[in-house]
Structure 1
Amino acid sequence: MTMTAQYRPYRDEDCVDGTETEHIGWPDHEPGVQIYEKTTEEIPFNVRRRRSLFMLIIVSILVGTICFFTGYFTHTSHSICINNTAALFKSNQDEDITIRAKLLDRIDSLRISRLAREFSSKPHVAGSDEDVRLAEKVQNFFIKNRLEHIQMKNYSVLLSLPNPSKPNFISIINNSGKQIYNSLNISTPNYEAFCPYSPPGIVTGDVMFVNYGRPIDYLQLQELFNTTENIFKGKILLAKQYHVPASEQYKYAMIMNASALLLYPDPLHYNPRNESPFPDSEWLPSDGIRSDSIFWNGAGDPQTFGLPSNGHAFKDLMEFSDQISIPTQPISYEQAAELFHNLDGMEVPADWRGGLNLTYRVGGMKNHVKVHLEVHNVLQNRTINNVMGTIRGQIEPDRYIIVGNQRDSLSYGAVDSATGTGTFLELVRVFSELVKEGWRPRRTIIFASWGAEEFNLLGSTEWVEEMNKILYMRTVAYVNINMLVTGNDTLSVEASPLLYHAIFNATKEVLLPKTELDQRPENFQTVYDKWLTGEPIMRNATTLVLNQNITSHLKQLGLKELENFHRSDLHQFRREESAEPGSILKTYLSSALAEIRPNVRPLDMFGSYAPFVSMAGIPSIDLSFVRRNYDTDPLENDEYERISFNHMPYPLLHTQYDRFETMERFIDPEFRYHQVAGQVMSELIRDLADSLFLPFNILDYAQLLKDFYLKSTQLHNIILPSFDQNDHNLMNQLDMKSLESAIHNFTNEAIKFHARQDKIDIKDPLAIRRINDQLMLIERQFLDHRGIPSNNHRRHLILSPAETASSFNALETEGLFPALLDELDQIIGNAFRKDIHHSLVRLQKHLPILINTIQSAAELLAEI
């Protein structure tokens, strides 16, 4: 027995087992012991066990409580601290729609304006001290707003920069070698115009004007001179800058064996009304020079094609050197006028004339003068910085929504892209506030500030090359935030087809600025209304994925619950579904079969989204409010199913005059349209990150494929008679029937997939995950590891852009289906007299790959 000391009242009969206990007296002087005595008694084992257990429980509760409160008040992310039961429950819940209003209400135009002003206060070319300072500012902003996993990803890349001790210039010299004009006499402080990646070189020779420097322009000049010989060899070519990328202009100048290329912004496009230019308006002054990179192949760092440019990368310039051979320099239209005054030869065709008040001639030179060009650009390895921050998803943390913004510029870069950076950081602030208040998205949101985007998209490309395998498995979508506002006539959206439905919904939720609402009728309230009115698509019902006999089509698929669905019901379905969510299939059918809806443009691959789409097969989107330019009402012309609108380019883009004052005074004075653009983006991001099912309408992809098939078949039948017998046979051997069959299978599987989605048990988290995985992986199916034939760095067979600028877009696909367009350009335009037979052979080889890719996508959608 163990002897235990305890305090107890003094009572003889108070014994545990009824036996008398020996008492020990207490000192008389000890206070308070008169009625108590200290005893030593024998405690039974079962009583001790009960008491020990009771004490253990009490101590455990106390320790647990102390630990809980200590952990709670030192931990900031309580919303992710849920037990397995709660996680299971939450995994079946759809998005919290109340978050939408909070996001829309909190986007602050004044905050966007202040950030835009700071990020455009100085030139910040990639790799410069100012660029590093702004990267650190973004990082500190992420820290202040408590993003998670904040890091600065650095890459050592090859940049092309002006030589500070030897400026680039052009001059005109007479036959005695004396300079009669020198562009160095006209310069802008803190701005050195150049074409990134142009090699250095000194050239003296004759100038020839080639309009925009497209294949059709070279062919037209040969016809004017009535020759098939290369009349461009050794010439300094002069071309307008407008819509045609500088990289394409450069490529064709190289093919023509020119000695150099000069690019200028003609006032026809950059000041068409001959108004007082900046600082009195947003039009380009006569000394404005637009700097554009001439190397843009979508592969990132020229030294490490296909690999991230980190510390252990093998670097080799051989492939890059093969693509760059002649010096190129941008000049102002004031400098171009000096050249035109000295050009001789025939006048240009009427549609080649620009906005200069002079006679446009083709060239050569008057009075035996020559043009002298010196380019002294230098290649330097510099460190560039991507800044990353994360909001971790609560239910699916391994599914990513990536939101990216370009940070660098070739000058002050207010519109491109400090105003975008301001909006991007405002989104970071607002989403972070909601997380602090207890909300957390279902999926992870990654915010990324890209460096060196003006140099072949280095920042985003290097990161995608480094993270490609992880991004392939985990990324849902990429949302690009760049030039959000260059006008306010209409919205322009470029997106993967899977994101059409999500952006339609987001624009329906956001109201236009109040100043515009005051001027509009009641039925013109939302961004969607403005977009639909400003840039509609009109589609012929016979070309839609489902024809008029939709009931029998659905019946054949075994979808009996939709046998009563008719095209006449579309308007009613649209109205019902916008008011209250219902059938996913009905909603997606009504959207995909709409005969008039806003135009969504193909991604042109000149933004940060390019590597996400063309390398990793990740659905991407980019949008901006723009100035619209067309002569007639777009709805008057019913001859075309798709109308491409000519958006006026921002005239000060990439020039020394892209400054904050332009936005503040002329384009968006109170930053209301930036606020609205931020609201649209916030709703899009919220929907992608928090919806139970990914909001991807696969029928929009089916429609894109069918449009392509119909137009390619029509073209096939038109051009077939023009071939000789051998090539006629080759063209006939193209397996168009199998292509049609693959697209038909894809469409049917898409309908059945969305029908199954309607019936899924949302109490089953694995079933939800399975549906979302199929949706996420659809875009990946259109990748091919070999790449497109003309550029193996671009692997998306549908959405990668064509590598050649067609003399005309025969398929009206705006650059989609690149491999086919590249070969058809050679066949139809025969721009550079290449062998048509070889192009037909390449078409024969590529078409089966495309067919197999589409069929693979159909099989992915099949029931598991």
Structure 2
Amino acid sequence: MFKIRILLLFFTVGIVFSKLSSIEKKLFKSFSLSRAKKNLKKLTSIAHIAGSKNDKILVDWTVDQFKSYGLNDVTVEEYWPLINFPAKRSLTLLKPTHFEASLTEDVIDSDKTSRDQNAVPTFHGYGGSGDVTGKLIYVNYGSIDDFRQLKDLGVDFKGSICIVKYGGMFRGVKVRAAELAGCAGCIIYSDPFDDGFVKGKVYPEGPWRPPTSVQRGSVQYNHVYQGDALTPGKPALKNATRLPFDDANIPKIPSLPISYADAEPLLKALVGSGHKALDIGKEWQGGLKFDYFTGPGEATVRLNVNQDYKIRPIWNVIVKIEGEDTSKIVLAGNHRDAWVFGAVDPNSGTAALLETGKGLGDLLKTGWKPKRSIWLCSWDAEEYGLIGSTEFVENHIDELKEKGVTYINVDTSMGDNFASSATPNLSNLIRDVTKDVKHHKFPEFSVYDKWLESSKEKSPFGLVTPVGGLGAGSDFVPFLQHAGISSISLEFRGEYGVYHSNYDSFYWIKETQGFKSLITTAEIYSLTLLRLSDSEVVPMSPLHYWLELFKYSTDLVNILPIEVSIKKLLESVEVFKLNSLRFEDRLKSINDNKKRELNFQKEENINYFNTEQENFKLINEKLIFLERKFCLFKDGIGKRRKWYKHFIYAPGEWAGYDLEYYPSIREVLSIKGENRIQTMQYEVDKLAGIIKVAADYLGSS
């Protein structure tokens, strides 16, 4: 009976919206594929790395676009973070033969934007400088475990230069592992096994990475904090007090991204030396047509990188739409800056954001006004380390904590496969929204239908589409993990082998993917935004949070020593469950009363006073502020990661992007000494107290 009751409540949330409302239909009618393509072509016509002149050109253009849609409250917020551009970089194989890496991407004649090989040189954001020479060692994907495996086999990394594959984890984790191992430098290359010819035809014949393509990207140590490297926890205003450069969360060793064309001679120089990759593990062998070896041997390389670090301006564009209730704000954002042209990442998402702006502008012209205020945000410098969004959150932290309802993020809108991550209280909302949007490639199906067909997970209630947890990697991080605002991130994915390269272009999309997903993304994005800003009761479910908390808590048995008790934690989760059920019961009762009241008004033709308005207000407050209850401590989740405030979710320290649940407990798993068990027990009990506070908040009248 209990399971049936939860089942009914679980799906009650999911059937609130069975079809589009008249407002939602009007919104969709505003969208135009030809306009979205035109905007995307403009955004990708010039390279626009953060802090550059071209970046500012597109800032001004974006402001003009929003204003042309009838959105007049548009402001530009300027911040001054530390930004690096490459001043010099070279990579030379000195022994056993001589080879000079080109560090450039070939021109593809049919792709006009690729003709400027120096639009943005190949480099790492927040990379270290140095001129170092050392023995070359191949370390698979460069994880901390990969380095440990070779160390256990007797490999000495001191003074060496490692070469590792992209993939598996955030690139900054790879450089950090190399630095801690004693390497003098780190080279990261794109292996064809992961996104090159092993996957299929390479660009321009297909979507996969061609031989000279290079993945740029940030290597900031974001496990410590996000945003500007010199102003953690404070906005990077022009006259801000800054950390000394040596205290910033950036690598101390030089690193460089290269192509598999440049990597091949280096890896061939290792053949026969050290350990054969396949003898260590199948995943150590890449896609190039020879046996990989680890070294060290005779192979010696010189890596010379000089980074030009300066305090440079960046610009966020913020559009504000006033709601009937200005004390609550629903935020939606996308980053505008790109490593080069950024057609997929991020400007396919920018095109969807602009369409959303156009749709909302058209609704405003009809006299419509949202119940809650809406802010549309075009972020800058996301690629360096979520800088624009983080500085915004740090600058407006008090207002956001007081007024923020949710944050909705979109990065990429290209391909046929939908995916989403969200805080658990929003997981059914995104499922519901996708049920009401047709799939662009299969219009006889909803997006949800195709999502479920391609990817499903088993829940206590049957098969559902998987909504992932939010770790790191995009602009939802400061909202959720620093300010405690419930968040959603959504995207469409496809075969995509030109990530962060010169070839992530308008022409690449035209030839390999097509543009129809731009409008589908705009529909999902705007519909999610509209339902969060315009529904009488915010469409969130605390019951879904209980399901995740129960799973995370029982999983702790597998990672904690047997001496550590999780009894208090399980008791708190049980209270959270009971209060969630009572809360959902109360919400259902109020909705039933509302229906009866509306019927009474209609039958009696009188204005019946709604006695439940205060109840709706109280319920909305609890739904919105529940997330904040997981962020109670100013000192954050641990001594080394004070910036991260959320005790349920944080990015993994050694995974970079991937979610780590109960991060404060994981912070102490590796400690040693006589107080080890006592410290772990303290953290478990502290977490139990936090969850109990959230549970009591739900249960209070």
TM-score scaled by structure 2?
0.88
Pair 322,758 (structure 1): closer, same or farther in 2 beyond 3 Å: closer
User: Counterpart in 1 of 2:598?
Assistant: none
User: Counterpart in 2 of 1:336?
Assistant: 263
* SS of aligned partner of 1:329: strand
1:805, CA displacement in angstroms?
3.4
The answer as to 2:85 corresponding to 1:237 is: no
User: Counterpart in 1 of 2:430?
Assistant: 503
The answer as to 2:621 corresponding to 1:773 is: yes
How far does the alpha carbon of each residue in 1:540-575 deviate from its partner, in whole angstroms, 9 at most, with x for none?
x4xxxxxxxxxxxxxxxxxxxxxxxxxxxxxxxxxx
Alignment RMSD: 2.2
1:455, CA displacement in angstroms?
1.3
Superposed, 1:373-384 pairs within 5 Å as: 373-384=303-314
How far does the alpha carbon of each residue in 1:193-222 deviate from its partner, in whole angstroms, 9 at most, with x for none?
001111210011111111011122122223
User: Counterpart in 2 of 1:615?
Assistant: 482
* SS of aligned partner of 2:137: strand
Aligned partners of 2:238 and 2:443: how far apart in 1? 54
User: Counterpart in 2 of 1:351?
Assistant: 283
User: Counterpart in 1 of 2:537?
Assistant: 693
User: Counterpart in 1 of 2:471?
Assistant: 604
User: Counterpart in 2 of 1:302?
Assistant: 229
User: Counterpart in 2 of 1:365?
Assistant: 297
* SS of aligned partner of 1:693: coil
The amino acid that maps onto 2:90 is F
Deviates more, 1:101-110 or 1:692-701: 101-110
How far does the alpha carbon of each residue in 1:287-344 deviate from its partner, in whole angstroms, 9 at most, with x for none?
1111121104243111111101113421123564465211010011111101011112
| Among candidates 350, 356, 363, match of residue 421 of structure 1 | 350
Q: Is the 8 A contact 2:425 2:545 kept in 1?
A: yes
The amino acid that maps onto 2:542 is I
User: Counterpart in 1 of 2:65?
Assistant: 141
1:393, CA displacement in angstroms?
0.5
1:776, CA displacement in angstroms?
0.5
| Among candidates 392, 407, 415, match of residue 322 of structure 2 | 392
1:747, CA displacement in angstroms?
0.7
| Among candidates 379, 390, 407, match of residue 450 of structure 1 | 379
The amino acid that maps onto 1:360 is Y
User: Counterpart in 2 of 1:756?
Assistant: 586
Pair 215,430 (structure 1): closer, same or farther in 2 beyond 3 Å: same
1:814, CA displacement in angstroms?
4.8
Aligned partners of 1:275 and 1:247: how far apart in 2? 28
Aligned partners of 1:500 and 1:321: how far apart in 2? 36
* SS of aligned partner of 1:111: helix
Aligned partners of 1:385 and 1:185: how far apart in 2? 29
Aligned partners of 1:535 and 1:853: how far apart in 2? 33
How far does the alpha carbon of each residue in 1:218-252 deviate from its partner, in whole angstroms, 9 at most, with x for none?
222234x2x4xx72221101110013101111111
Pair 322,776 (structure 1): closer, same or farther in 2 beyond 3 Å: closer
Q: Is the 8 A contact 1:791 1:803 kept in 2?
A: no
* SS of aligned partner of 1:482: strand
Aligned partners of 2:104 and 2:46: how far apart in 1? 24
| Among candidates 618, 630, 637, match of residue 788 of structure 1 | 637
Aligned partners of 1:843 and 1:804: how far apart in 2? 20
User: Counterpart in 1 of 2:54?
Assistant: 130
1:516, CA displacement in angstroms?
2.0
User: Counterpart in 1 of 2:7?
Assistant: none
Superposed, 1:142-291 pairs within 5 Å as: 142-163=66-87, 166=88, 168-174=89-95, 179-183=98-102, 188-223=117-152, 225=153, 227=154, 231-273=156-198, 275-291=200-216
How far does the alpha carbon of each residue in 1:650-698 deviate from its partner, in whole angstroms, 9 at most, with x for none?
321111111111111111x1x2222111111111111001000010011
User: Counterpart in 1 of 2:660?
Assistant: 815
Pair 403,296 (structure 1): closer, same or farther in 2 beyond 3 Å: farther
| Among candidates 492, 508, 531, match of residue 662 of structure 1 | 508
Superposed, 1:489-638 pairs within 5 Å as: 490-513=417-440, 515-517=441-443, 525-539=445-459, 541=460, 594-627=461-494
Pair 676,130 (structure 1): closer, same or farther in 2 beyond 3 Å: same
Unpaired stretches in structure 2, ≥5 consecutive residues: 1-18, 107-116, 595-609
The amino acid that maps onto 1:500 is S
Q: Is the 8 A contact 1:801 1:817 kept in 2?
A: no
1:182, CA displacement in angstroms?
4.0
1:710, CA displacement in angstroms?
1.7
User: Counterpart in 1 of 2:574?
Assistant: 744
Q: Is the 8 A contact 2:197 2:210 kept in 1?
A: no
1:276, CA displacement in angstroms?
4.1
Aligned partners of 2:151 and 2:318: how far apart in 1? 52
The answer as to 2:559 corresponding to 1:711 is: no
The amino acid that maps onto 2:171 is A
The amino acid that maps onto 1:283 is W
Q: Is the 8 A contact 1:304 1:314 kept in 2?
A: yes
User: Counterpart in 1 of 2:391?
Assistant: 462
Aligned partners of 1:250 and 1:466: how far apart in 2? 30
1:381, CA displacement in angstroms?
1.0
* SS of aligned partner of 1:800: strand
The amino acid that maps onto 1:291 is R
Aligned partners of 1:474 and 1:153: how far apart in 2? 19
Aligned partners of 2:329 and 2:428: how far apart in 1? 19
The amino acid that maps onto 2:61 is K
TM-score scaled by structure 1?
0.72
Aligned partners of 2:523 and 2:249: how far apart in 1? 45
Pair 614,814 (structure 1): closer, same or farther in 2 beyond 3 Å: closer
The answer as to 2:506 corresponding to 1:651 is: no
Unpaired stretches in structure 1, ≥5 consecutive residues: 1-94, 519-524, 542-593, 628-647, 721-730, 827-833
Q: Which has the larger radius of gyration?
A: 1
The amino acid that maps onto 2:180 is I
User: Counterpart in 2 of 1:521?
Assistant: none
The answer as to 2:524 corresponding to 1:680 is: yes
Q: Is the 8 A contact 1:120 1:413 kept in 2?
A: yes
Pair 299,805 (structure 1): closer, same or farther in 2 beyond 3 Å: closer
User: Counterpart in 2 of 1:67?
Assistant: none
User: Counterpart in 2 of 1:641?
Assistant: none
The amino acid that maps onto 1:373 is L
Aligned length: 646
Q: Is the 8 A contact 2:371 2:533 kept in 1?
A: yes
User: Counterpart in 2 of 1:109?
Assistant: 33
